[in-house]
């Protein structure tokens, strides 16, 4: 009798253990009835996807998910919508943008000056007498009027607020209240800033400068407090999620110092980051860059962090003397070489801002010298921008294992570039050439001061080559297919932070980062792609954004 009882007890335990084990094998989330663009090696289109503990455990047909569904599984019927891997911007100043997102005004998508002025009025109403700041990401060509707003128009919209409006890194408008607050006048300007005057000799309220001088002036504007930094970062990352973005590679930038990462780190510690962030250290102290790197990197060894926040090396300004310098002297090159040689020995990734192919040999010569001592291909070094690069340059980059982060700068600025380059603009940027040559390419925007952060605007531009003003630029030889463009914005970008085997495609075992779209990216007319948004965005199996009929899943 006792033996029988023991057998029954053991049998019950075994049954219970088996049931518990089976339950543990059930999915946390299953999405069915979808068109899933997996971007796997076979370009598979699937119907359903299952997620457990932040990773994909199955991709296939609807029926294949049945055995993975348990009592606790969240089930989502996609209703035939398209699912893509989460988008990754390979070059976006998102950490800096988040600091001010809650207190700035943006003109993204404004089609008239009147609409832009209405946004200023709304901001002034919400924050009486506070600063009104438009930090960039607009062009006069997006307006029906095809011109910049005048000082009179801005004053009519916000007469009681100091207003600062920046156009790329070339021009800015300051109202009299803003000038007074900053101690600036037409005759008393910071170094590198000049006053714009009308034919009559009167000042227009607009000023001109360079990226360095305008950035220095921007640093003098009042900064949001820490709580506003946190709120802005949270809001901005949610906005990125709305657009299907699940990851970014952030190159730092002007006006962002170590203390400015506190808001990002707070969200990380709270486990409330909704975007995976790989960030670089941008040199802020011109002339003392090497000291800056040596002081900070011991606290940030390469790869320090986790799946949500990770240190990704140095750049995009390595030294002030080599930044936007097409004719560096021997001293500038020697200092640069000292730093990048050290970075290679430390195992650091390096990304650099370089715009002109005519001078990029100055950079590649130095990289080839470093490569003789320390192979740099395993370090994933990259060049950002370089829209006018050539086959010769791309060959040298490929030989060194250097990647290219390519942005949609020509969407807002292409009309000016075409006027300068003429027929050569048909090959800018040479996306097709780079793909055919096998160079590692990641897509992105360089937002938010010089471009919109909207990835679907960038994807549409990659496919049609049209500027915001409607001018066609790039020719068919340099235009990718839809799948190629999507790959550049997903697994292509993931390469730059060593993640191409972990995310960027929707395959079993990979991180569960994906977006359910409001339209089919693969088939809608190209001109509609820019208006695409996500209705459900998932990062690591966690729903971080939900809208429309999916709002209940948030």
Degrees (nearest 5) of the Cα angle 167, 172, 173?
A: 120
Answer yes or no: do 68 and 138 share one domain.
no
Q: 297 falls in which pLDDT band (50, 70, 90)?
A: very high
Length of the chain: 554
Tell me what pLDDT residue 238 has. Answer: 98
Residue 546 lies in a domain: yes
DSSP, residue by residue, 177-203: HHHHHHT-BTTB--TT-EEEE-TTS-E
Does an H or E element contain 82, and which? strand 82-85
Q: What is the pLDDT confidence band of residue 325, given thresholds at 50, 70 and 90?
A: very high
Q: What is the pLDDT of residues 160-178, one digit of tens each?
A: 999 999 999 899 999 999 9
pLDDT at 426 (0 to 100):
86
Whole-number Cα distances in Å, 420 to 210, 331, 356, 416, 444? 19, 32, 13, 6, 24
89's torsion region: left (phi>0), alpha (psi -120 to 50) or beta? beta
Residues near 92 by Cβ (< 8 Å), separated by ≥ 6? 248, 249, 250, 444, 445, 446, 447, 448, 453
Q: Write the pLDDT tens digit of every residue in 122-175.
A: 999 999 989 999 998 899 999 999 999 999 999 999 999 999 999 998 999 999
pLDDT value for 413: 87
Percent helix, strand, coil in the chain (nearest 5)? 40, 20, 40
Q: Which pair of tokens denotes residue 336?
A: 């640069």
**Same domain membership, residue 82 and residue 159:** no
- What are residue 383's DSSP bridge partners? 352, 404
Pair of tokens at residue 392: 């010769």
Q: What is the pLDDT of residues 268-292, one digit of tens each?
A: 999 999 999 999 999 999 999 999 9
Closest CA to 318 of 344, 337, 304, 305: 337
**Using H for helix, E for strand and C for coil, what is the string for 244-298?**
CEEEEEECCCCCCCHHHHHHHHHHHHCCCCCCEEEEEECCCCCCCHHHHHHHHHH
Strand arrangement, sheet containing 171-174: 132-134, 163-167, 171-174, 203-208, 194-197
Domain identity same for 60 and 110: no
Q: Per the domain annotation, does 165 fall within a domain?
A: yes
Q: Is 482 within 8 Å of 520 (Cβ atoms)? A: no
Identify whether 72 is part of a domain: yes
Last residue of a domain, one of 218, 243, 264: 218
State how far the Cα of 288 lies from the Cα of 291, in Å rounded to an integer: 5
29 and 132, same domain (yes or no):
no
The whole-number pLDDT of residue 24 equals 56
Strand-by-strand arrangement of the 55-60 sheet: 55-60, 48-52, 29-32, 74-77
DSSP state of 495: G
Q: Are residues 83 and 114 in the same domain?
A: no
Rounded mean pLDDT of 227-251? 97
Q: Are residues 56 and 121 in the same domain?
A: no
Better-predicted residue by pLDDT, 301 or 50: 50
pLDDT, tens digit (0-9, with 9 covering 90-100), for 375-399: 999 999 999 999 999 999 999 999 9
Of the candidates 164, 196, 218, which is a domain's last residue? 218
Q: What is the 3-state secondary structure (H, E, C) of 397-435?
A: HHHHCCEEEEECHHHHHHHHHHHHHHHHHHHCCCHHHHH
Supply the pLDDT for residue 172.
Answer: 95
Q: Give the model's pLDDT for residue 21.
A: 44
The pLDDT tens digits for 56-72 are 999 999 999 999 999 99
Q: What is the mean pLDDT of residues 246-262?
A: 94
Is 10 among the domain residues?
yes
Same domain, 119 and 212: yes
> Is residue 340 a contact partner of residue 350, using CB atoms and an 8 Å limit?
yes
Within a domain: 292: no
Closest CA to 514 of 43, 42, 59: 59
Element holding 2 (H helix, E strand): helix 2-24
Residues 79 and 108 in one domain: no
* Domain containing residue 74: 2-87+542-553
Q: Which two tokens stand for residue 255?
A: 């006006």
Question: Span 456-475, mean pLDDT?
Answer: 94
Identify the pLDDT of residue 83.
Answer: 98
Phi-psi region of 305 (alpha: psi -120 to 50; beta: other; left: phi over 0): left
Neighbouring C-beta atoms of residue 19, cutoff 10 Å: 10
- Looking at residue 45, which CATH number applies to its domain? 2.30.40.10
Write out the H or E segment, with its range, that includes residue 41.
Answer: none
Q: Within this chain, do residues 80 and 117 fall inside the same structural domain, yes or no?
A: no
Peptide bond into 213 cis (omega under 30): no
Q: How far apart are CA 281 and CA 47, in angstroms?
A: 41
pLDDT in tens, 174-220: 999 999 999 988 778 888 999 999 999 888 999 999 988 998 998 89
Q: What is the CATH number of the domain that holds 159?
A: 3.10.310.70
CA–CA separation, 74 and 58 (whole Å): 15
The mean of the pLDDT values for the chain is 93
Same-domain pairing of 128 and 161: yes
- Signed CA dihedral, 222, 223, 225, 227: sign only: positive
Given 218, 250, 282, the domain boundary residue is: 218
Residue 122 pLDDT: 96
pLDDT > 50? residue 18: no
pLDDT value of residue 419: 86
Is pLDDT above 70 for 11? no
Per-residue pLDDT averaged across 291-304, rounded? 93
Which residue in 170, 198, 108, 149 sits closest to 416, CA to CA? 170
| 127 and 214 share one domain | yes
Q: Count how many domains the chain has.
A: 2
The answer to whether residue 398 sits within a structural domain is no
59 and 133 belong to one structural domain: no
Is there a domain that residue 11 lies in? yes
Is residue 190 in a domain? Answer: yes
Query: To the nearest whole percent, how much of the chain has pLDDT over 90?
Result: 83
Report the pLDDT value the prediction gives residue 3, as an integer from 0 to 100: 58
């Amino acid at each position: 009798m006792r033996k029988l009882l023991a057998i029954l007890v053991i049998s019950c335990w075994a049954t219970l253990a088996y049931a518990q084990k089976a339950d543990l094998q059930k999915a946390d989330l299953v999405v069915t009835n979808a068109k899933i663009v997996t971007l796997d090696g076979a370009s598979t289109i699937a119907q359903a996807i299952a997620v457990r503990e932040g990773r994909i455990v199955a991709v296939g047909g609807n029926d294949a998910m049945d055995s993975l569904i348990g009592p606790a599984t969240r089930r989502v019927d996609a209703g035939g919508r398209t699912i893509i891997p989460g988008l990754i911007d390979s070059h976006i100043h998102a950490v800096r943008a988040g600091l001010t997102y809650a207190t700035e005004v943006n003109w993204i998508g404004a089609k008239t000056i009147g609409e832009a002025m209405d946004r200023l009025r709304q901001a002034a109403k919400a924050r009486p007498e506070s600063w009104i700041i438009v930090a960039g990401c607009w062009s006069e060509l997006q307006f029906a009027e095809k011109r910049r707003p005048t000082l009179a128009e801005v004053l009519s919209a916000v007469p009681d607020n100091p207003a600062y409006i920046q156009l790329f890194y070339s021009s800015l408008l300051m109202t009299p209240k803003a000038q007074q607050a900053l101690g600036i006048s037409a005759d008393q300007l910071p170094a590198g800033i000049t006053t714009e005057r009308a034919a009559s000799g009167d000042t227009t309220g607009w000023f001109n400068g360079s990226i360095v001088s305008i950035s220095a002036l921007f640093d003098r504007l009042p900064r949001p407090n820490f709580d506003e930094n946190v709120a802005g970062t949270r809001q901005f990352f949610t906005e990125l999620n709305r657009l299907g973005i699940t990851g970014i590679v952030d190159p730092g930038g002007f006006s962002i110092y170590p203390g400015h990462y506190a808001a990002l780190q707070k969200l990380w510690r709270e486990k409330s980051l909704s975007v995976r962030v790989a960030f670089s250290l941008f040199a802020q102290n011109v002339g003392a860059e090497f000291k800056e790197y040596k002081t900070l990197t011991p606290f940030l060894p390469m790869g320090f962090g986790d799946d949500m926040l990770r240190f990704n090396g140095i750049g995009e300004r390595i030294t002030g003397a080599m930044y936007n310098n097409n004719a560096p002297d021997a001293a500038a090159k020697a200092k640069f070489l000292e730093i990048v040689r050290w970075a290679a020995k430390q195992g650091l990734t390096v990304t650099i801002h370089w715009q002109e192919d005519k001078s990029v040999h100055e950079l590649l010569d130095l990289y080839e010298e470093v490569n003789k001592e320390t192979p740099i291909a395993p370090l994933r070094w990259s060049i950002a921008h370089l829209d006018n690069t050539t086959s010769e340059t791309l060959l040298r980059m490929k030989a060194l294992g250097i990647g290219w982060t390519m942005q949609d700068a020509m969407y807002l600025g292409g009309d000016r570039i075409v006027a300068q380059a003429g027929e050569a603009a048909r090959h800018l940027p040479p996306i097709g050439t780079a793909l055919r040559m096998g160079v590692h390419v990641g897509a992105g925007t360089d937002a938010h001061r010089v471009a919109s952060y909207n990835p679907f605007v960038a994807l549409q531009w990659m496919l049609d080559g049209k500027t915001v003003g409607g001018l066609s630029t790039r020719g068919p030889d340099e235009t990718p297919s839809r799948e190629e463009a999507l790959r550049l914005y997903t697994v292509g970008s993931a390469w730059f932070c060593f993640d191409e085997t972990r995310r960027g495609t929707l395959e079993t075992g990979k991180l569960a980062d994906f977006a359910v779209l409001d339209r089919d990216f693969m088939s809608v007319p190209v001109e509609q792609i820019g208006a695409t948004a996500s209705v459900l965005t998932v990062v690591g199996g966690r729903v971080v954004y939900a809208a429309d009929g999916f709002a209940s899943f948030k």
